[in-house]
Structure formats: C-alpha cells, structure tokens
Structure 1
Amino acid sequence: MAITTEPPPARTVVPTVRTPGRPRSAAARDRTFGFMLVAPALTLFLVVAVYPLLAGVATSFYDQSLIRPERRFVGLDNYAAVWPDFVDRLGTTLVFSALATVFPLAVGLALAVLLNARLRGRALLRGALMLPWLLPGVVVSFLWAWIFNDSYGVLNHLLSGAGLPEVDVLGRPATAMAAVVVAKTWNSFPWVMVVALAALQSLPREQLEAAALDGATRAQRFRHVSLPHLAGPVALVAMLEFIYNFGSFDLIFVMTGGGPGTSTMTLAVSLYRYAFTEFSLGRAAAMGVLWLVALSAVCAAYFLLDKKMESR
C-alpha cells in the first residue's frame, strides 16, 4: 500500500493595513495625548498673554487714541516722546521698590525671630500678624489714605490731641513717598515673616546647642548659625518682593495718584495716565514696552540669584 505525503498548505500572510492618520507607535500616541492635555492651557496662554503683548508692541508704533477710531503709523516717535518721562519714572519706581522691600524685610525678620522664641500666646500672635497680608491691596490703600488724610485722618487727630501741629503727609513731596512705603510695609511684612519663621524652625536644634556649648552668646548664635540659614530663602523673597513692587499700582494710585507733583509717579501710574487721562494708547504702549524691558532685567537678576542659590 503506497502512502503519499502531501506538503502542508502554505500559510497566507495577510498584510497589516494601517488606518490613515492613526499613530504608528505608543510613543506617538503619548505625544498626541500630551499635546491634547496641554492644548487648552497653551491656547489660553496665547490668548491672554502672548497676543496682548504683541498687540501692545505693535500699538507702540502708532499714533492711536481712545477718543478717535483711526490710527497713524509714527515709527519710534512714541518712544522718543515718552523717553524723558520713562527715565524719571524709572528712578521713582526703583526708589519705591527698594524702600518697600527693605523695610518689610527688616520688620518681617525681626518678628520672625521674636515669634521663634517661646512666648505665651505665640500662636494667637502669629495669626493676628497675618491679617495685613490677607487684606486686598485696595482696602489697604484706602485704610492708610484715611489714616494720613490731612482733614479727618487718624494721624492728625492724634497729633492734635497731643498738642502737636498737624501734618499734611500725602500733600508734601517729602513725606508722600514715606507714607506709601509705610502702607506697603504694613501690607507686606507678614509674607517675609512667614518665610523667615519657617526657615528658622527648620534649623536643626543640634547646631544651636553645639554653638551654645562652645560658649557662643545668643547674638553670636543668631549671627553665625541662624542668619546663614536664613540667607537663601530671605534673599529670594526679597527679589520677588522687589519685582512685585516694581509693578505696584493700586496702593500708589489710590493714596497719592502719583503726586504731589510727580514725587510718587511710578511707571505703572504713568502708563495709566498716558492711556486713560491723555487717551494716548500709542504712548502708553511705548511706556509699557520700556517698562517690560526694565522689568525683564530685574527678573533676569532674580533667576541668576535663584540658580546661584540652587548650586550651593
């Protein structure tokens, strides 16, 4: 009996058909999914931040006003017109930013050291000292404008009750800047206090105890142990506070409006006046662009300091 052996039938290979437009790999699918997650935030950023910035830069090259619809290309004329004011307002802004950074820093550090000690009612005192920071800037502005008011202010009422001459604090160039700095110090010191207090409480107790065993006094322990531990966080807070003060508007506008004269006229208030008092959007945009360049230099200094602190 003959046995015949037949070869197995050949397997038919069906080619894989890829759907057009479908990602070819898991990495491609992950990239597409990641873009879908980022797309809403990116769109919002482009609409809210990038487009107004580009529109403002473009407006700075035009003679454009709020009270007439047409506009005319003038090139760099707006920058030439606002440059003298920019130089003067930049000096005022730097003075305000520096003073409104140094004084909250000093007050916040002093209170942080005080609250780090063992005091009765320390928790209640911490909560009470946080209140100025929780108030909106406009509320703080009206509060201190009322205190310094020359007609019905609290300060002149106390001076009059003590038999001392009344003082027009907000009406004199020599004292208007001091009044604004006092208000800003009262509003900002809790932030510095919280950061400094957190840094002090993270300091290992062993270091302070070792310094005490070596015979270091309380002042020496603070200078050589606590203060170096505070240097990094406080420096970053100071830079952030300076940047915030560089763009501060509400407090100065409400309390003095930039006056008397131009003694408290910062870049923010000057830009507002160009746009909404003189109705010159072109010059306001030019002032804003110059302001942005100056602020970018300050932010660059902050990033360099932050990088330097991280490398330690």
Structure 2
Amino acid sequence: MLAAPAVALFIAVAVYPLVASFWTSLYDQSLVRPEREFVGLRNYAEVWPDFVDRLGNTLVFSTLATLFPLLIGVSLALLLNARLKGRAVLRGALMLPWLFPGVVVSFLWAWIFNDSYGVINHVLSQLGLPEVDFLGQPATAMAAVVIAKTWNTFPWVMVVVLAVLQTLPREQLEAAALDGASRPQRFLHVSLPHLMGPVALVTMLEFIYNFGSFDMIFVMTGGGPGTATMTLAVSLYQYAFTEFSLGRAAAMGVLWLGALSVVCAAYYLLNKKLEGRR
C-alpha cells in the first residue's frame, strides 16, 4: 500500500509512454489526420538509414561533449584544491556557466559564433583575418556546439571532482611527501586512484546526458548545416513536428532507446564493479 502511489506514478510517466511509443511505431500515424494504418515494421525499415547516420553524429557529439568538460573540470578541480588566494571567489565564478539554462547558453553562443555580428568574427576582422561562418559550415558547426556544451557543463564535473578531492585523507599526502614523493608522484599514486571511481561514474553519466541532448543543438544549428549536427534527438523532433509522422518518430525513438540501453547497461556494470571494490 505504501509503494502503490509511487508505482502508479512510475507506470503513468514511464511505462505507459514506452508501451504507447512502441505500439505507435507499428502504425502509419500522423499529427494532421486522426486515422491510422497498421504497417508492421515498415517504419523501422524507413528510418533505419537515418538512424545509422544520426547515431554517428550523436556518438561524436556525446564523446566530445563529455571528454572536454572532463579534462577542464578535473584540471580546475586540482587547481582549486590547492591553497590559492581568493579560491573561494574563483570557485563561485567558475560555477556561473552551470547556472544558466541550456536554451540561454545556446542563444549566447549562437550570438558569439554568428557570421554577421558575432564577437569572434568581429575580433577576426579587427585582426585582419578572414571571417568564418562557424554555424553554417559542416566542418565547424559540430565544434561550435561542442564548445558551447563544454562551457555549460564543465562546472558540474569540477564540483564533483573537487568534492572527492576534499575527502582525500591529508595524512596520505603528507606521508608521501615525507617519503620524498614529488608533486606529480603524489598525484599519480595517491590522488588519482582516489579519483578514478567517481570520475568514471561522472563520465558515464555525462555521456548518457549528452546522448539525449536536444536543446543546445536545436537552438544553435537545428541539426544543420545539412545533417552535420543532426543527432537522434533532433531527428526524432523533425519526424514528429516537421513531417508530422508519429509512426516514424516513434520508430526512431524505439531504436534510440535500444542504443541508449547499451550505454546504461555499461554504466550499471561499472557502478556494480566499483561498489564491489568498496
């Protein structure tokens, strides 16, 4: 009886939409007409080529948007863990990008990268260098979105790693220093083993979040130019609300869920392994 409300809520917001999406994927159903026709697996066959292409873009974005915040966040956490003058103020300032909603960050960086009045192109023109259409060229559009995502999410990684570093026993570092270990040796043999577990979990979680990222890519590029930044999330949106094909959108969603399940399974196994070590 105590669990019944939570179970009912879970069924309403998770189980029912999942079953309904799978059922819809078997029909030719549109937003603009009420009738629908059973087509079996035809929707899956139609969206499969797009799924393979969008999956590649999604993996590229997820990998880069996870790797760069991780490198920056860990580096800044190590810096802020040292005894620096004014580090409390610096910590607060570095947290600011994380406080902005994704849509706000998207508009900010879209303005920075704008080819007509963007800040970066203004600086390039003042230096006598050619201007670049960052969001309009396939070679630079993905990089621009990754930069925006990195700026928005590195503080989260920084805070998690900094919290872990605060729990590191000072006695171990002091003992290593007394034994003659240099600063790099203390990091490699004392701090790094202490960080490996939490950093691995943060990396997996960040990858899962980025795998389903929609707002930043949609606002900055809309999946373009062409399909250079077309991820699974943006592709599903276009199927449903541009082409009004709910059947194909649902089929894309089911395939997307299958791909994400592999990542979630890896996260679960990693978490269980790390818990076993503890």
TM-score of the superposition, structure 1-length normalised? 0.88
Counterpart code for 1:147:
I
Aligned residue number for residue 82 of structure 1: 47
Aligned residue number for residue 265 of structure 1: 230
Cα displacement (A) at 1:164: 1.5
- Give the Cα–Cα distance (whole angstroms) in 1 for the partners of residues 185 and 63 of structure 2: 28
Aligned residue number for residue 232 of structure 1: 197
RMSD: 0.8
Counterpart code for 1:44:
L
- Give the Cα–Cα distance (whole angstroms) in 2 for the partners of residues 42 and 138 of structure 1: 33
Matching of residues 187-206 of structure 1 within 5 Å: 187-206=152-171
Task: Look up the SS of the partner of 2:34 in the other structure.
Answer: strand
Aligned residue number for residue 32 of structure 1: none
Aligned residue number for residue 274 of structure 2: 309
- Give the Cα–Cα distance (whole angstroms) in 2 for the partners of residues 310 and 38 of structure 1: 26
Cα displacement (A) at 1:220: 1.1
Task: Look up the SS of the partner of 1:66 in the other structure.
Answer: coil
Counterpart code for 2:130:
P
Cα displacement (A) at 1:38: 2.3
**1:15-39 deviations in whole A, cap 9, x for unaligned?**
xxxxxxxxxxxxxxxxxxxx1x322
Cα displacement (A) at 1:43: 1.7
Task: Look up the SS of the partner of 1:118 in the other structure.
Answer: coil
- Give the Cα–Cα distance (whole angstroms) in 2 for the partners of residues 187 and 168 of structure 1: 22
Counterpart code for 2:16:
Y
Aligned residues between the structures: 277
Task: Look up the SS of the partner of 1:169 in the other structure.
Answer: coil
2:109 is equivalent to residue 182 of structure 1: no
The more displaced of 213-222 and 186-195 is: 213-222
Aligned residue number for residue 92 of structure 2: 127
- Give the Cα–Cα distance (whole angstroms) in 2 for the partners of residues 68 and 216 of structure 1: 72
- Give the Cα–Cα distance (whole angstroms) in 1 for the partners of residues 10 and 103 of structure 2: 27
Task: Look up the SS of the partner of 1:101 in the other structure.
Answer: helix
- Give the Cα–Cα distance (whole angstroms) in 2 for the partners of residues 151 and 274 of structure 1: 31
2:13 is equivalent to residue 48 of structure 1: yes
Aligned residue number for residue 223 of structure 1: 188
**1:133-168 deviations in whole A, cap 9, x for unaligned?**
111111111111110010111111111122211110
Structure possessing the higher radius of gyration over alpha carbons: 1
Counterpart code for 1:261:
G
Cα displacement (A) at 1:51: 1.1
Counterpart code for 1:196:
V
Cα displacement (A) at 1:47: 1.4
Aligned residue number for residue 112 of structure 1: 77
2:252 pairs, out of 266, 280, 287, with 287
- Give the Cα–Cα distance (whole angstroms) in 1 for the partners of residues 7 and 182 of structure 2: 55
Counterpart code for 1:126:
R
Aligned residue number for residue 31 of structure 1: none
Aligned sequence identity (%): 82
Cα displacement (A) at 1:41: 2.2
Point out which structure has higher relative CO (alpha carbons under 8 A, 6+ apart): 2
Unaligned runs of 5+ in 2: none
Matching of residues 5-44 of structure 1 within 5 Å: 35=1, 37-44=2-9
TM-score of the superposition, structure 2-length normalised? 0.98
The more displaced of 155-164 and 139-148 is: 155-164
